[in-house]
Chains A and B, each alone.
Chain A
Amino acid sequence: MFDELRDKIMLCFIDNGYWEWLVEGFLHTVLITVFAVLLGLVFGVILAAVRSSYDKNEETLKLRGGIGYYLLKFFNAVCKIYITVIRGVPVVVQLMIWYFVILVSSKSDIAVAVIAFGFNSAAYVAEIFRGGIMSIDNGQFEAGRSLGFNYVQTMAYVVIPQTVKAVLPTLLNEIIALLKETSIAGYVGIMDLTKAGDLIRGRTFEAFIPLIAVAIIYLITVVVLTRVFTAVERRLRRNER
């Protein structure tokens, strides 16, 4: 029984050097995830900044007049539409639209995936940050403004630091979800971790072993990620309880 299992493992990973596929696939998965997370964070924070600036300043700007109000209102509406569209369309479909329609001439499949997953994640990150900002007691904001800090200073010194701490757990969830979402990269011919496992399955006619191996690698990655985040959170809490 153990001999049989060992033979199968040898067949799936070692004999034909298929383990290299797993390594390559895993690297692609990590590459896509890391850059998509970065893109999602940057663009998501921009979206959140627009959305929450509008929420927090709407009344003031409206009453104090000026073109700023209409500009912000416009950009807020654009962001809202963007977030609605992204959240309403399956990621696979988004990925295929990027791959087969918008970026057909792109040389790098990985880059297309980063863009697709990044701009998708941005919508979720934006809502996470906006929710986080709104969850901070408005008294904190008002205290900052009452001392004479302008909007941006108040956000930077008072609200955002508290927001970051508050959204860390939700942000981790988003990153984990994104990591696992990248498993659909195979749809556009990228050999990520999932695709690698699937290729091995196709070659060896062994389904159980390669797929379990893939599952375990995802699982370990998620566990490690969670550990890292928990440590960061604990750090933050110790620094400013």
Chain B
Amino acid sequence: MKGNENAINTANNSLISINGLKKYYNGEKVKALDGVNMEIKKGEVVVIIGPSGSGKSTFLRSLNLLEIPTEGKIIFDGVDITDPKTNINLHRRKMGMVFQHFNLFANMNILKNMTIAPMKLLNKSKEEAEKNALNLLNRVGLEDRASAFPSQLSGGQKQRVAIVRALCMEPEVMLFDEPTSALDPEMVGEVLDVMKALAAEGMTMAVVTHEMGFAKEVATRVVFMDAGKILEQGTPDEIFTNPQNPRLKDFLSKVLT
């Protein structure tokens, strides 16, 4: 059974495959996710759009089990991570997550933020972890802030650090939940640039965002969610220039004006 799934996954090159994913709150009152199916292939940049409360965050957070699905399966790297017997901690190492509010560890400086996980979880030496962290900081133009504490950085800087902190674990996929929504407008660009560079390097990404420009430019696929369901998906071109679903049309007419 499990072997079978593995075979299918490798056959169609799927990194994450989501099957009938449901998440209910308060019994069955709130259906945050109401049967979502999706395949995410290696190197894909999937951008998830949809109105507020449509279940985008819940979907993304389910992928690394920050939310435990009520029903459904998530196969990551050929392993069913929704199986209670799976050690989720091992799989989370391979899924980087970037949050709306950055969530840098407030009790550690930037360098420590970036080295603690590789050192404690991947048994990297301090030297190796720091070298890698400084390299990454360099790439996002923040090498001079290595010894600063998160409270001393601007929002844009924090988010750039949050991205490279996740990269320090050398993840196979990066999940972004509205990474620019908490930023002042003038800082949105610097964070999107980092994400674009990451996409260009071939990182597999799932991004929830309201930045339609980013979706058009970077997405390999755009997914429209509403009321816990995927109503439409396609290339940016299909979604933005030739939407089919009336709800998507309505949504786009609101966000693209």
Chain A interface residues toward B at CB < 8 A = 59-60, 63-66, 137, 139-140, 142-150, 153, 157-158, 161-162, 165, 240-241
Pick the contact of B84: A66, A142, A144, A241 (CB < 8 A).
A66
Using CB atoms, name the residue of chain A closest to B86.
A64
Contacting residues, chain A, for B229 (C-beta < 8 A): none
Binds A, one of B100-108, B138-146, B247-255: B100-108
A165 to B108, CA, bound (A): 13
Whether A64 lies near B66 (C-beta < 8 A) is no
**Shortest Cβ-Cβ A-B pairs, 7 listed:** A148-B93, A143-B103, A139-B103, A146-B97, A63-B68, A147-B117, A64-B84
- Which among B95, B107, B121, B166 has the greatest number of chain A C-beta atoms within 10 A? B107
Chain A binding surface SS class: helix
- Which among A66, A142, A161 has the greatest number of chain B C-beta atoms within 10 A? A142
Given contacts A65-B84, A148-B90, A148-B92, contact A140 B117 (CB under 8 A): no
Chain B interface residues toward A at CB < 8 A = 64, 66, 68, 70, 84, 89-90, 92-93, 95-97, 99, 101-109, 116-117, 120-121, 149, 151-152, 162, 165-166, 169
5 A–B pairs (Cβ distance < 8 Å), ordered by A: A140-B105, A145-B92, A157-B105, A157-B120, A158-B105
Whether A147 lies near B68 (C-beta < 8 A) is no
Contacting residues, chain B, for A145 (C-beta < 8 A): 66, 89, 92
A161 to B117, CA, bound (A): 16
Q: How far is the CB of A180 from chain B (nearest CB, A)?
A: 32
Pick the contact of A148: B84, B99, B151, B169 (CB < 8 A).
B169
Using CB atoms, name the residue of chain B closest to A65.
B84
Contacting residues, chain A, for B103 (C-beta < 8 A): 137, 139-140, 142-143
Given contacts A146-B95, A146-B97, contact A63 B70 (CB under 8 A): yes
Whether A143 lies near B90 (C-beta < 8 A) is no
Q: How far is the CB of A147 from chain B (nearest CB, A)?
A: 4
Whether A240 lies near B149 (C-beta < 8 A) is yes
Whether A148 lies near B121 (C-beta < 8 A) is yes
Given contacts A64-B84, A65-B84, A157-B120, contact A146 B66 (CB under 8 A): yes
Contacting residues, chain B, for A59 (C-beta < 8 A): 68
Pick the contact of A147: B70, B84, B151, B169 (CB < 8 A).
B169
A139 to B152, CA, bound (A): 18
Whether B92 lies near A146 (C-beta < 8 A) is yes
Contacting residues, chain B, for A150 (C-beta < 8 A): 89
Given contacts A142-B66, A143-B99, A147-B93, contact A240 B120 (CB under 8 A): no
Whether B107 lies near A162 (C-beta < 8 A) is yes
Contacting residues, chain B, for A66 (C-beta < 8 A): 84
Whether B169 lies near A241 (C-beta < 8 A) is no
Pick the contact of A143: B105, B121, B149, B152 (CB < 8 A).
B105
Contacting residues, chain A, for B66 (C-beta < 8 A): 142, 145-146
A178 to B66, CA, bound (A): 40
Whether A149 lies near B107 (C-beta < 8 A) is no
Contacting residues, chain B, for A148 (C-beta < 8 A): 89-90, 92-93, 117, 121, 169
Using CB atoms, name the residue of chain A closest to B117.
A147
A241 to B95, CA, bound (A): 29
A59 to B62, CA, bound (A): 14
Contacting residues, chain A, for B96 (C-beta < 8 A): 146
Using CB atoms, name the residue of chain B closest to A161.
B107
Pick the contact of A241: B92, B149, B162 (CB < 8 A).
B149
Whether A139 lies near B105 (C-beta < 8 A) is no
Whether B89 lies near A139 (C-beta < 8 A) is no
Given contacts A66-B84, A149-B117, contact A143 B104 (CB under 8 A): yes
Taking A139-B102, A142-B99, A147-B93 as known contacts, 13 extra A-B pairs with beta carbons closer than 8 A to each other, sorted by chain A number, are: A64-B84, A137-B101, A139-B101, A140-B105, A143-B99, A146-B96, A146-B166, A147-B92, A149-B89, A157-B105, A161-B107, A240-B109, A241-B151
Whether B105 lies near A144 (C-beta < 8 A) is yes
Q: How far is the CB of B132 from chain A (nearest CB, A)?
A: 14
Pick the contact of B108: A139, A142, A153, A240 (CB < 8 A).
A240
Using CB atoms, name the residue of chain A closest to B116.
A157
A64 to B149, CA, bound (A): 36
Whether A149 lies near B121 (C-beta < 8 A) is yes
Contacting residues, chain B, for A149 (C-beta < 8 A): 89, 117, 120-121
A143 to B66, CA, bound (A): 10
A142 to B107, CA, bound (A): 15
